[in-house]
Structure 1
């Protein structure tokens, strides 16, 4: 089961009411629960998705179609599949990674440590886009790959790719 842990800003943006939030249960998914936050990049709204257990992350820019509680999980699954494909994972490994996420629920962020990691990621994504000349000139794929190659203290100074790939290998 996919639990999308939304910040208050995301809850408000997609029209999610507090009574629609579920209590969190442990995850049996290899990449665990996912957190989502919303931030501005130049004049565009962006959503950052982060696996709570691996810190694997990616950003997606919001388009013209309004974000809804039904679209957000689809964005996560689509973005995750694309990210894992670009990383070169085989189709069967990707299918096993997303299989537990067929059903989903929304939950409130309950980890201050994970929220701190996510806020740091938002700042780094914004900084990297700015450093590379803005959205018109940067390569978002390169930025996402660099972010996931950065060692993280909360996962023992490993990087998100290594942790995620080791969890996905255990499914084989």
Structure 2
């Protein structure tokens, strides 16, 4: 297991929503985990709030619909870990590999976003998720698992037109052939 700290890099919108004091934000050190640090943003589709989580390395992403339970500085990391585990399971990745992939994030911290390029990718994903949720009939009736699956099947220019799923799988397996040609 990796002793390096991993960060949830929160946009100002998320910092405000979860009551995260700016003094609690750490300076992010370079990521040593295969999927890097994760960006977190909050957006609305209609009257429903979503939290978007995106790997800064592979652009793998998932959304969580806000429920009645408040999202706080204590609950956000847990929601992230559960969401990431479920996403990797959805892809058919075995439990041992999921555990190994999620391990670096167990002692994560909060940091502010620090890459305009990555924020641009995240904004594109917000647009894609919003459109797919609306096409699916809105937050109350869309198949959110299908929306997440399709969002990760979109070729990404930043990844040399590769899909987030493919890059993620190669990073987890340690093969990394895709990123050599798509260096960010």
TM-score range, shorter chain: over 0.9
Cα deviation for residue 41 of structure 1 reads 1.8
Cα deviation for residue 136 of structure 1 reads 2.7
Instruction: Trace 1:1-172 onto structure 2 (pairs within 5 A).
Output: 1-170=5-174
Q: Deviations over 1:40-83 (max 9, x none)?
A: 12211110000000000000011111111011111110000001
Cα deviation for residue 137 of structure 1 reads 2.5
Cα deviation for residue 86 of structure 1 reads 1.0
Stretches of 4+ moved more than 4 A in 1?
none
**Number of aligned residues:** 171
In 1, Cα distance between equivalents of 2:139 and 2:24: 34
Unpaired stretches in structure 2, ≥5 consecutive residues:
176-184
TM-score between the two structures when normalised by the length of structure 1:
0.97
In 2, Cα distance between equivalents of 1:33 and 1:24: 9
Unpaired stretches in structure 1, ≥5 consecutive residues:
none
**2:120 alignment partner, SS class:** helix
Q: Deviations over 1:109-162 (max 9, x none)?
A: 000000011011011101111112112331111111111011000011110000
TM-score between the two structures when normalised by the length of structure 2:
0.90
Cα deviation for residue 2 of structure 1 reads 2.1
**1:19 alignment partner, SS class:** helix
Contact 2:25 2:110 in 1 (8 A): yes
